[in-house]
């Protein structure tokens, strides 16, 4: 049966066969979430790019649909892009009888041997697309791609962000009719340049908590490949202001969206209901995505994420707002609670829980570091997820200290692929910016502290760790999304996750609560 291979994630989207990369065309229309994606329908490596298509009503259960957009000529590719709803038929593509929220317009890059140009296709039924023939944006360029379009209330027109990939620039265009576009501004040479900019996304995110609770602010995300500090592909972002023409970051800080290696081509959904921001990313890395040991498919999309912005103590190094990143409501797919213990204050015991189910689990714990504890290199709260053979494992945890960091360790998770690929780095880590605990302290916008990493050794410190493990991928969320890490791993010998060991390290930590849930497969 499709979707039954041991390496096949059970709650993450993947195509039945062949190679997938970036999410494309994310749009909510008439009660349906659309996910288009870069797809090679003929091989299990990149090339011959089409837009594959799937739909969902809850962002977890996906129904596969026919290919939505295909190239006309051999050797050409339909590259990444996005989609919007043209409610007011500004394009003139729709009949007045088409319900307003079903007027989907997709923007994509046509890749040929000599150019990358931007094109439009539209759909009234959410399944079949009609191409509008001429390119709508071109500039005699081969490195110019990945349109992201949004309706801008500030200037009452459509805005398109595009990557001038090897000029390290995002160029913004404006249009009133989706066909005639002119350049209005640029955002260029910011942050880590890497080799090329890809998949820009400018979108609004609600602030959560603090003085601006509920207010929408702008985030610009740029995918960069190669050039990640830990190798290959990664996503950086800026929080800032969009005035209708220019994006201005609020500080010099460069932030990465995910601390591990497998989170790329991030994209947000347009037309999300309510003042909410939802997004997804391709959970792999161009350093090895075309050779990973999965067949007959390659690559998955990340869990759908709900994004908010949260205030942290302002410092010159970091600025004050951080993108918070948590999985969309997992209760939509949870089946059995395998273990649950709340408020076990003082428990210094390790805990082992059998993972009975289809290989997809949600593991959540809160660790407490009591005040005035002397921290060692082994003051680590961790989850080690073992394969059925009891030998192979993938591990994630929190190393306490100043600073405290989270890590993912896939060094013991199957050696046959890892040994053959020098870029399949086995350990990644990210700093926990602020030791968020259960106080309101994180909203204090007081004088600048001397350090971004506050010395809290004189008070009890709580850190929560969540790992969603799904056959061959682990996604880690610290402090309810303050920090996220996504990593694929490949157990040898058809093994799947079977047991988790929750550890309090050198016994200086306490396990305050622990909950382990089995997640239902989203595939029939
Ligand atoms: C990013 C990317 C895009 C491009 C697409 C081609 O992963 O390189 O820039 O449009 O993939 O598949």
Q: Which residue positions in the chain have pLDDT lower than 50?
A: 316, 435-454
pLDDT at 116: 98
Token pair recorded at residue 520: 């239902």
- 4 Cβ contact partners less than 8 Å away, ≥ 6 residues apart: none
For the CA of 22, the closest atom of ligand 1 is: 7
Q: Which of 146, 198, 201, 409 is catalytic?
A: 198
Nearest protein CA to atom 6 of ligand 1, as residue? 79
Could you write out the DSSP letters of every residue in 296-346?
A: SEE--BPPPEEEEEEE----TTT-SEEEEEEES-GGGTEEEEEEEE---TT
- Compute the distance from residue 348 Cα to the ligand 1 centre, in Å: 47
Q: Does 393 contact ligand 1 (Cβ within 6 A)?
A: no
Long-range contacts of 95-100 (CB under 8 A, 24+ apart): 95/124, 98/124, 99/30
Active site residue 198: yes
**H/E element, 35:** strand 32-40
Among 50, 79, 197, the mutation site with the greatest number of ligand 1 atoms within 8 A of its Cβ is 79
- Compute the distance from residue 286 Cα to the ligand 1 centre, in Å: 10
For the CA of 46, the closest atom of ligand 1 is: 12
Q: Does 104 contact ligand 1 (Cβ within 6 A)?
A: no
What's the Rg (C-alpha) of the chain?
23
pLDDT at 167: 96
- 159 Cβ contact partners less than 8 Å away, ≥ 6 residues apart: 149, 150, 151, 152, 172, 173, 174, 184, 202
**CB neighbours of residue 10 within 10 Å:** 20
For the CA of 223, the closest atom of ligand 1 is: 1
- Compute the distance from residue 472 Cα to the ligand 1 centre, in Å: 23
pLDDT at 411: 97
pLDDT at 450: 40
Token pair recorded at residue 7: 């390496």
* Spatial separation of the C-alpha atoms in residues 90 and 461, rounded to whole Å: 54
Q: Does 266 contact ligand 1 (Cβ within 6 A)?
A: no
Active site residue 22: yes
**H/E element, 106:** strand 104-111
pLDDT at 447: 37
């Amino acid at each position: 049966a499709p979707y039954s291979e041991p390496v096949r994630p059970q709650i993450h989207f993947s195509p039945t066969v062949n190679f997938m990369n970036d999410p494309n065309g994310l749009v909510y229309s008439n009660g349906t979430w659309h996910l288009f994606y870069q797809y090679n329908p003929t091989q299990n490596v990149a090339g011959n790019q089409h837009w594959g298509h799937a739909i969902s009503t809850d962002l977890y259960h996906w129904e596969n649909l026919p290919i939505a957009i295909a190239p006309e000529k051999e050797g050409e590719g339909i590259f990444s892009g996005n989609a919007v709803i043209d409610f007011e038929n500004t394009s003139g593509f729709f009949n007045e009888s088409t319900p307003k929220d079903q007027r989907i317009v997709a923007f994509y890059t046509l890749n040929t041997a000599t150019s990358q140009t931007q094109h439009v296709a539209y759909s009234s039924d959410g399944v079949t697309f009609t191409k509008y023939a001429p390119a709508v944006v071109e500039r005699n360029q081969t490195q110019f791609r990945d349109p992201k379009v949004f309706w801008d209330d500030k200037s009452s027109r459509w805005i398109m962000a595009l990557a001038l990939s090897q000029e390290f620039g995002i160029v913004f265009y404006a249009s009133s009719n989706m066909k005639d576009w002119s350049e209005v501004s640029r955002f260029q040479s910011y942050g880590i340049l890497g080799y090329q900019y890809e998949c820009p996304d400018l979108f609004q995110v609600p602030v959560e908590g603090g003085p601006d609770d509920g207010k929408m602010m702008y985030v610009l995300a740029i995918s960069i490949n190669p050039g990640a500090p830990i190798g290959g592909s990664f996503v950086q972002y800026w929080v800032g202001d969009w005035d209708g023409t220019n994006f201005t970051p609020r500080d010099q800080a460069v932030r990465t969206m995910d601390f591990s290696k497998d989170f790329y081509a991030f994209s947000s959904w347009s037309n999300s209901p309510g003042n909410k921001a939802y997004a997804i990313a391709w959970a792999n890395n161009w350093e090895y995505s075309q050779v990973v040991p999965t067949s007959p498919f390659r690559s998955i999309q990340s869990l759908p994420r709900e994004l908010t912005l949260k205030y942290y103590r302002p410092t010159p190094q970091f600025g004050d707002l951080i993108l918070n990143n948590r999985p969309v409501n997992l209760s939509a797919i949870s089946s059995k609670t395998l273990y649950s213990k709340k408020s076990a204050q003082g428990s210094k015991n390790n805990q082992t829980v059998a993972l009975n189910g289809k290989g997809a689990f949600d593991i959540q714990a809160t660790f407490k570091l009591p005040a005035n504890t002397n921290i060692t290199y082994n003051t680590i709260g961790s989850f080690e997820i073992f394969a059925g053979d009891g030998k192979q494992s993938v591990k994630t945890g929190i190393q306490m200290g100043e600073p405290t960091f989270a890590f993912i360790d896939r060094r013991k998770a199957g050696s046959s692929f890892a040994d053959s690929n020098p870029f399949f780095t086995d350990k990644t880590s990210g700093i926990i910016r602020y030791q968020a605990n259960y106080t309101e302290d994180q909203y204090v916008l007081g004088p600048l502290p001397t350090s971004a990493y506050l010395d809290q050794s004189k008070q009890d410190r709580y850190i929560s760790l969540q790992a969603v493990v799904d056959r061959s991928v682990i996604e880690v969320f610290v402090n309810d999304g303050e920090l996220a890490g996504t990593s694929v791993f490949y157990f040898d010998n058809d093994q799947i996750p079977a047991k988790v060991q929750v550890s309090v390290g050198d016994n200086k930590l306490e396990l305050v609560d622990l909950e382990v849930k089995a997640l239902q497969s989203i595939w029939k």
